[in-house]
Amino acid sequence: MIDRDDLRAAVSAGVVTEAQAARLAALADSRKGARENLNAGDEPFELFKGFNEIFIVVGLVILGAGYLAVAGLSTELGQQNVFSRAILFAALGAVILWALSEYFIRRRRMVAPAITLSIFWAINAGIGLTAWLSEPFMVAQENLNSLPLPLAVTTLAVLAWWARFRVPFAMALIALGAFGVALMWVAARNGTPARIEEIFLLSADGGFAWITLGLGVVFFAIAMAFDMSDPHRVTRRAANGFWLHIIAAPALVNTLALTLLSGEGMNMLLALVLAVFALVAIIIDRRSFLIAAVGYCVTLAFTVFGGEGGAAVILTLGIVLLVLGAFWERIRAVLLRAFAGVLPLDRLPPSTAA
């Protein structure tokens, strides 16, 4: 094991530069933080490092609420220039958020404040850019033609923010923004869907479900690219993949499952599709990807099957989840051996099962 004294000695001897030693130390801390308290095979997940981060998040939320209150009062006092004032306060808010991010994310490397600041940045950019680029009177008349542009620019603003601060949670916001832009663009041309289900029904008019399915596939592919570039999951690349899976999985599962459910005699095919999703989740070692299918099954049990049928589905699902949780690594090891000649095992998380 190479410790900090070894790194300092290596710098003194000219083996590595001071910058290289700092990067090595940072990588070691990152690996330690990601895996130190995890059992073999566990999926890294971190929302905060300590209560001090929660304390800071509370402060950020109160600060944000106060800033919105001041901005709202100022806007009310100057009703002649409501949108100009909104743009001005959004621009000032962007400067403040960027400065806070430089300190809490780049310097302090805090997790919970980084997530909070990501959300604040997206909201602030959305408010300012909508006030600047949209047509409020068109929106008031349910004409959405002016909304895709500000939402697209907002998504690009979040992408730029991610490029600077590399907060994995921002990937989820970027993916949601892309979904919003695509769906609003279709709605502006084909009209808004009459029911929320039309966003996921491939047989519905308007093409919303095809957009949802296509973007789900795209973001799943990007998530897998992040995952396969870091199979041991010790860097932020794997964390980026985690949040993209959280967004991609519901888009894929809901679209395919609702479409199959809308047809007659498709229950067996639906069960097969959900089983395939479970198989994919186990192979790529992403319990987070499977949660979307699980949540959908629970919803189906209550809304579609109901009564004794719903109770049976819930009971079966509970048993399956307990078995998967208890024997996930063993099941995964069997699957990896079965697909050894097909899958790039060197780019997937290694199995820890004996």
Residue 119 placed within a domain: yes
How crowded is residue 307: how many other Cβ atoms within 10 Å of its Cβ? Answer: 7
Q: Which of 132, 153, 170 is the last residue of a domain?
A: 170
- For the chain, what is the domain count? 2
The residue written with tokens 């189906």 in the block is: 300
pLDDT for the residue 113: 94
Q: Is there a single domain that holds both residue 21 and residue 75?
A: no
Q: Which of 170, 191, 212 is the last residue of a domain?
A: 170
Q: Is there a single domain that holds both residue 32 and residue 133?
A: no
Reading phi first (left if > 0) and then psi (alpha if -120 to 50, else beta), residue 271 is in: alpha
CA 42 to CA 65: how far, in whole Å? Answer: 37
Q: Is there a single domain that holds both residue 4 and residue 90?
A: no
Q: Is there a single domain that holds both residue 33 and residue 51?
A: no
Residue 109 placed within a domain: yes
Burial class of residue 118, CB neighbours in 10 A (0-12, 13-18, 19+) = buried
pLDDT for the residue 175: 96
Residue 92 placed within a domain: yes
Q: Is there a single domain that holds both residue 59 and residue 163?
A: yes
- Runs of H (alpha helix) within the chain: 4-12, 18-35, 51-77, 82-101, 112-133, 136-140, 148-165, 169-190, 208-229, 236-262, 267-284, 287-300, 307-338
Burial class of residue 286, CB neighbours in 10 A (0-12, 13-18, 19+) = buried
Q: Do residues 82 and 75 lie in contact, with contact meaning Cβ atoms separated by under 8 Å?
A: yes
pTM for this one? 0.81
Q: Is there a single domain that holds both residue 63 and residue 122?
A: yes
pLDDT for the residue 44: 63
pLDDT for the residue 33: 47
pLDDT tens per residue across all 354 residues of the chain: 666 677 777 777 787 787 787 777 766 655 554 444 555 556 666 777 777 889 999 999 999 999 888 887 776 665 556 777 888 889 999 999 999 999 999 988 898 999 999 999 999 999 999 888 888 777 656 666 788 899 999 999 999 999 999 999 999 999 999 999 998 888 877 777 777 767 777 777 767 888 889 999 999 999 999 999 888 887 888 889 999 998 998 888 878 877 777 766 666 787 788 888 888 989 998 887 787 667 666 766 666 555 555 677 678 778 888 888 888 888 898 999 888 888 888 888 887 664
Q: Do residues 186 and 207 lie in contact, with contact meaning Cβ atoms separated by under 8 Å?
A: yes
Residue 18 placed within a domain: yes
Residue 203 placed within a domain: no
For residue 61, CA distances in Å to 49, 66, 86, 126 come to 18, 9, 19, 18
DSSP state of 144: -
Q: Is there a single domain that holds both residue 29 and residue 143?
A: no
pLDDT for the residue 85: 80
Quote the domain boundaries for residue 159.
45-170
CA 124 to CA 346: how far, in whole Å? Answer: 42
Q: Is there a single domain that holds both residue 55 and residue 142?
A: yes
Q: Which of 152, 170, 188 is the last residue of a domain?
A: 170
Q: Is there a single domain that holds both residue 30 and residue 142?
A: no
Residue 118 placed within a domain: yes
Q: Is there a single domain that holds both residue 52 and residue 131?
A: yes
pLDDT for the residue 195: 72
Q: Is there a single domain that holds both residue 64 and residue 144?
A: yes
Q: Is there a single domain that holds both residue 9 and residue 59?
A: no
CA 47 to CA 26: how far, in whole Å? Answer: 19
CA 187 to CA 128: how far, in whole Å? Answer: 22
Residue 216 placed within a domain: no
Residue 347 placed within a domain: no
pLDDT for the residue 243: 92
